[in-house]
Amino acid sequence: MSAPAPRMRWWGWGEDGHDEPLSDAARALLAEQLGPLPAGRRDPVALGDVRLPAPALPAAARERLAAIVGDEYLRDDRLARVTHAAGRGYHDLVRLRAGDAAAAPDAVVYPADAEQVAAVLRACAQEQVAVVPFGGGTSVVGGVEPHRGRFAAVVALDLARLDRLVAADPVSLTATVQAGMTGPAFEAALAERGLTLGHFPQSFEFSTVGGWVATRSAGQASTGYGRIDALVVALRVVTPSGEIATRAVPATAAGPSLRELLVGSEGTLGVIVEVTLRVRPAPAVRRYEAFSLPRLDAGVEAFRALVQAGAAPDVARLSDPVETCVSLAMAGDGLSTRALGAYLRARGHGDGCLAIAGWEGGDDAALRRRRAAGARVLRAHGALALGTPVGRAWEHGRFHAPYLRDELLALGVMVETLETATTWDRLPELHGAVVAALDGALRGRGTPPVVMGHVSHVYRVGASLYFTFVARQQEGAELSQWHAAKAAASDAILAHGGTITHHHAVGRDHAPWLGGEVGELGIELLRAAKATLDPAGIMNPGKLLDPAPLPGAGPS
């Protein structure tokens, strides 16, 4: 037995060899929109050239941890440390590709079970070693980047060995699962029993159940299946002060919800080791299709009408005109895309918005009824049905964007995403404000961006907004360029009634804005919870409550 191998290449997304080269058309579009890109590729340094601090874990602590997990499950070699040095945010990849792994943990431990997790936390609290719980390592908000805080050393606690489906109950439709199980492994185990969770964040291939719960994540089908916080029936968390487990009941009036205090705790209160989730019968049929809405405001009204009428599809996504244009252009193969563009212009949708609607269900008839009800609402708002090929293309590519990002970085292009949510009455205002903030911040630095957005995850009272922006990288100032854009967008979000994050979590990157969202007293309340469960303060320092400085902050 030995420690699990890294699931992703150390400098980017996914496995080595999985590349997504850009079409010539896409490269031409980028250059046209962003200005001239560098001539050569900017490829990552070799692993051996990565700059890594000397491991600082005191020998006594190392020995004690090795005794708990076993020698082979404590790793402090270069690959283990580099693969646990950062998440998969834009700033992470910029630094890793450039050979900067300054934040690498001093060691990585792989406990076998909840008891070993508890022993590791006890040892670290006594030895004054910080601990970063690590699931899939896919955080895009600095959530797993090690910060020593006031401690001399920091270890990553990798949950890869807690990878088992504990129980599935077909009567109550619940599944109990260990936190380190990845999305595909969990769904495969459920599928054997005819079940599904239906949680598909873009990170699905690599992220873990525990990570989803720790970050309060939303998936692409969460409009239908519910966000992860709506799917958690109970959870079991090991903290430095002991274990806390909530009761698996459908609902309760027994005081404040401790479950909701632990969901979203992002490794700062303890380590989520086991979760009981609501599951459903796996869908026998699914239909993903595309519609075009004549304008963004019509599309937003259509989506609001859908969800408020109880007719929302399980996947509901509405691109703004810029994202619609870029999607069609990137789709590549010239003829059919051009034909679609011409068709839309002819029908008055030249500035239209692409919508993806996905229905899943137990049988054809039920799915057809739901689809018909949804399509009726969409048509009443001027939608044109574009059929299933575009919908299937979206479904096929739903997890591809992070691979594409690696390629864009090699071409000298910054690409970043951020997201928020607000009530329907404020949605158009918030959309405009974030676009303007990003455009202003990047244009002001001489790197005008393309900013595109989409509405997704619709709720009766509102929806989320997800933004992607690309710009020429400011060579040598990539991080301060990123920080300027991030700060401008975050300020705009809070000023216009949004939440600082709807599905990426707080991590380190959103922490400076959390006080603006929950107030100083709210922060104190969270600090009190932390002081109770983690009195030594070893759990994931620099995140959520006590933000470490952001990459690129300060004079640029």
Q: Restricting to residues 310-349, which ones interact with a second copy according to CB under 8 A?
A: none
Q: Restricting to residues 226-265, which ones interact with a second copy according to CB under 8 A?
A: 227, 229, 233, 239, 241-265
Q: Restricting to residues 270-299, which ones interact with a second copy according to CB under 8 A?
A: 278, 280
Closest approach, Cβ 545 to a second copy, in A, equals 8
Closer residue to a second copy, CB minimum distance, 100 or 301 = 301
Q: Using only C-alpha atoms, what is the Rg of the chain?
A: 23
Distance CA 244, CA 257 (A): 13
Q: Restricting to residues 503-522, which ones interact with a second copy according to CB under 8 A?
A: 503-506, 510, 514, 517-522
H helices of 114-176, where?
Answer: 114-127
Applying CB under 8 A, among 533, 539, 548, 550 the residue interacting with a second copy is 533
CB-CB neighbours of 143 under 10 Å: 32
Closer residue to a second copy, CB minimum distance, 3 or 538 = 538
Q: Restricting to residues 423-482, which ones interact with a second copy according to CB under 8 A?
A: 423-425, 457, 459-464
Between CA 112 and CA 120, with CA 116 as vertex, the angle to 5 degrees is 125
Q: Restricting to residues 141-180, which ones interact with a second copy according to CB under 8 A?
A: 169, 171-174
Count residues near a second copy (CB under 8 A): 84
Q: Is 40 exposed, middle or buried (0-12, 13-18, 19+ CB in 10 A)?
A: exposed
Closest approach, Cβ 211 to a second copy, in A, equals 12
Closest approach, Cβ 151 to a second copy, in A, equals 22
221 within 8 A of 228, measured Cβ to Cβ: no
Closest approach, Cβ 455 to a second copy, in A, equals 12
Closest approach, Cβ 390 to a second copy, in A, equals 27
Distance CA 150, CA 265 (A): 20
- The DSSP 8-state label assigned to residue 424 in this structure reads G
Closer residue to a second copy, CB minimum distance, 171 or 335 = 171
State CA 143 to chain mean position distance: 10
> DSSP secondary structure string, 27-43?
HHHHHHHH-PPPSS--P
Closest approach, Cβ 380 to a second copy, in A, equals 15
Nearest to 366, CA basis, from 317, 318, 314, 316: 314
Closer residue to a second copy, CB minimum distance, 42 or 278 = 278
Closest approach, Cβ 502 to a second copy, in A, equals 6
CB-CB neighbours of 399 under 10 Å: 19
Closer residue to a second copy, CB minimum distance, 431 or 510 = 510
Q: Restricting to residues 385-424, which ones interact with a second copy according to CB under 8 A?
A: 421-424
Closest approach, Cβ 195 to a second copy, in A, equals 12
Q: Any bridge partners for residue 107, and if so which? A: 155
Closer residue to a second copy, CB minimum distance, 69 or 430 = 430
What is the side-by-side strand order in the sheet with 462-472? 384-387, 285-293, 353-361, 315-319, 450-458, 462-472, 413-423
- Binding marks (x or -) toward a second copy, 192..231, rule CB under 8 A? -----------------------xxxx--------x-x--
- Within 8 A by CB and 6+ apart from 73, the residues are 2, 3, 109, 110, 111, 112, 161
Q: Restricting to residues 93-112, which ones interact with a second copy according to CB under 8 A?
A: none
Scanning 82-90, 93-101, 113-121, 527-535 for contacts with a second copy by CB under 8 A, the matching segment is 527-535
| Beta strand 195-196 pairing with 129-134 | unpaired
Distance CA 368, CA 286 (A): 10
Closest approach, Cβ 2 to a second copy, in A, equals 34
- Binding marks (x or -) toward a second copy, 48..87, rule CB under 8 A? ----------------------------------------
Closer residue to a second copy, CB minimum distance, 314 or 406 = 314
Distance CA 480, CA 468 (A): 18
Structure tokens at 432: 């405009």
Closest approach, Cβ 410 to a second copy, in A, equals 30
Closer residue to a second copy, CB minimum distance, 470 or 506 = 506
